[in-house]
Amino acid sequence: METQTASVKKIALPYGAVLGLITILLSVIVYVMDLTYEQPWWQGALGFVAMIACILLGIKTFKKDNSGFLSLGEALKVGLAISLIAAILGVIFNLIFMTVIEPDFIPNMLAATEDNMLEKNPNMTQEQIDMGMSITETMMSPAIISAMAIIMTLFFGFIISLITGLVMKVNRPAHI
Report pLDDT digits (tens) over 101-126. 999 998 998 888 888 888 888 888 88
Q: Which residues contact 65 (CB under 8 A, 6 or more apart)?
A: 4, 6, 7, 10, 11
Burial class (CB in 10 A: 0-12, 13-18, 19+), 80: buried
CA 58 to chain centre: 15
Q: Which of 50, 49, 62 is nearest to 13 (CA)?
A: 62
- pLDDT on residue 84: 98
pLDDT tens digits, the chain, 176 residues: what are they? Answer: 445 578 999 999 999 999 999 999 999 999 999 998 888 999 999 999 999 999 999 999 999 999 999 999 999 999 999 999 999 999 999 999 999 999 999 899 888 888 888 888 888 888 888 888 888 888 888 899 999 999 999 999 999 999 999 999 998 887 65
Distance (Å, whole) CA 80 – CA 74: 10
Distance (Å, whole) CA 95 – CA 74: 31
Instruction: Return the number of other C-beta atoms located less than 10 Å from residue 97's C-beta.
Output: 17
- pLDDT on residue 3: 52
Domain locations in the chain as residue ranges: 8-103+150-168
Q: In this structure, what DSSP letter does residue 100 have?
A: I
- pTM here is 0.88
**CA 141, 144, 149: angle at the middle one, nearest 5?**
125
